[in-house]
């Protein structure tokens, strides 16, 4: 629903440069998968899009204007961990969205609006298959259920852009496939722009409409942190190329972590 334009983005921590010369334009409704070796800055890039961190230089435009340098309801986020509020039950976690949005100084809505929010939350719980867990605290939910709750909560916030930071990284393979289907369905329903960071190349190819590879192109053997990573490969996928083993192998070689066969299996699932 909202486009993202990044031009000449650079990010350094002191002397260490993490990202450099990052240019990318994502149209509204695209699903971007970001892959790359560990520590190559793809999560940093996501945190910049979230507003948790600021770029050292360059332009980031989200929607109609420059990015607001703090997290806002325009951009929703699901982290790998700590994504739901442990002191609230599943239901309360979802109600919190409306409470924050229009609860005023008490951070709580009352009366008819609360009833409406409750209905909406019930529907969303049922949608992600958590209706039976509405009164449980996150500590007694499994990892997959927690992530489903986190996604439901984020979607209730109606973000224009959904940011996912390795959302399924801590889940079992079987649960992961389930979550892929759920996410694909929800993305089709809501049509927001999605940016997902993942270690799993198969997942990147399966879910994304576009795969971006982050890597370092310049190396200084005397001072390894002199140069940062940039986008080295930008692959648009359609139905035909989606499962192309050629592309998969190429990206797997660039990232250098996952074996192509496992990635193929994930993509096919």
Partner 1 sequence: MLVKGMSARDEASETGGEGTTRPSRPRPKVRLRMINAKVSRGSALFLGGLPFLFVAIVYLIASAQRLAVNPSDKLLPSPAQMWSAFLDLATVPDRRSGDLILWVDTYASLLRLFAGVGVATFAALSLGIAIGFIPRVRAFLLPFVTVVCVIPPLALLPILFIALGLGETAKITLIAVGVAPVMVRDIANRVMELPSELVAKAQTLGGNSWTMVLRLVLPQVMPRLITCVRLALGPAWLFLIAAEAIASTEGLGYRIFLVRRYLSMDVILPYVAWITLLAVITDWLLVRLSQAMSPWAHPLEAR
Q: How far is the CB of 100 from partner 1 (least distance, A)?
A: 4
Give all strands of the β-sheet with 57-62 in edge-to-edge order: 65-66, 57-62, 4-13, 16-26, 229-236, 210-216, 31-36, 193-197, 161-165, 75-78
Non-local CB neighbours of 237 within 8 Å, separated by 6+ positions = 205, 208, 209, 210, 211
Which residue's CB is nearer to partner 1, number 155 or number 229? 155
Which residue's CB is nearer to partner 1, number 81 or number 219? 81
Which residue reads 């507003």 in tokens?
51
Please report, as ranges, the residues that interact with partner 1 according to CB under 8 A. 50, 52, 70-73, 75-77, 79, 81-83, 85-88, 96-97, 99-101, 103, 105-108, 137-140, 153-154, 157, 159
Q: How far is the CB of 114 from partner 1 (least distance, A)?
A: 14
Which residue's CB is nearer to partner 1, number 145 or number 264? 145
By the 8 A CB rule, do 46 and 6 touch?
no
Which residue's CB is nearer to partner 1, number 113 or number 219? 113
Q: How far is the CB of 149 from partner 1 (least distance, A)?
A: 12
Non-local CB neighbours of 135 within 8 Å, separated by 6+ positions = 89, 90, 91
Which residue's CB is nearer to partner 1, number 103 or number 228? 103
Q: How far is the CB of 162 from partner 1 (least distance, A)?
A: 10
* Angstrom distances, CA of residue 105 to CA of 16, 74, 102: 42, 21, 9
């Amino acid at each position: 629903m909202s486009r993202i334009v990044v031009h000449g983005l650079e990010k350094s921590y002191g002397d260490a440069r993490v990202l450099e010369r990052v240019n990318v334009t994502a149209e509204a409704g695209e699903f971007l998968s970001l892959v790359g070796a560990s520590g190559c800055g793809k999560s940093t890039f996501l945190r910049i899009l979230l507003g948790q961190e600021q770029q050292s230089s360059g332009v980031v435009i989200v929607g109609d204007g420059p990015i607001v340098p703090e997290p806002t309801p325009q951009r929703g986020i699901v982290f790998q961990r700590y994504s739901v509020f442990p002191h609230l039950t599943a239901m309360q976690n979802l109600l919190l969205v409306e409470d924050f949005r229009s609860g005023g100084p008490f951070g709580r809505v009352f009366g008819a609006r609360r009833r409406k929010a409750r209905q909406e939350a019930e529907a969303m719980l049922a949608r992600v298959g958590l209706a039976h867990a509405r009164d449980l605290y996150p500590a007694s939910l499994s990892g997959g259920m927690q992530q489903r709750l986190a996604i439901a909560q984020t979607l209730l916030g109606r973000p224009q852009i959904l940011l996912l930071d390795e959302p399924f990284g801590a889940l079992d393979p079987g649960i992961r496939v389930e979550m892929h289907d759920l996410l694909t369905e929800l993305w089709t329903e809501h049509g927001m722009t999605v940016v997902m960071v993942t270690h799993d190349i198969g997942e990147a190819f399966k879910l994304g409409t576009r795969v971006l590879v982050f890597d370092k192109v310049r190396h200084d053997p005397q001072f390894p942190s002199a140069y940062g990573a940039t986008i080295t490969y930008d692959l648009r996928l359609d139905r035909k190329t989606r499962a192309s083993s050629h592309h998969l192998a190429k990206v797997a070689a660039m990232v250098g972590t996952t074996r192509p066969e496992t990635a193929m299996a994930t993509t096919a699932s």
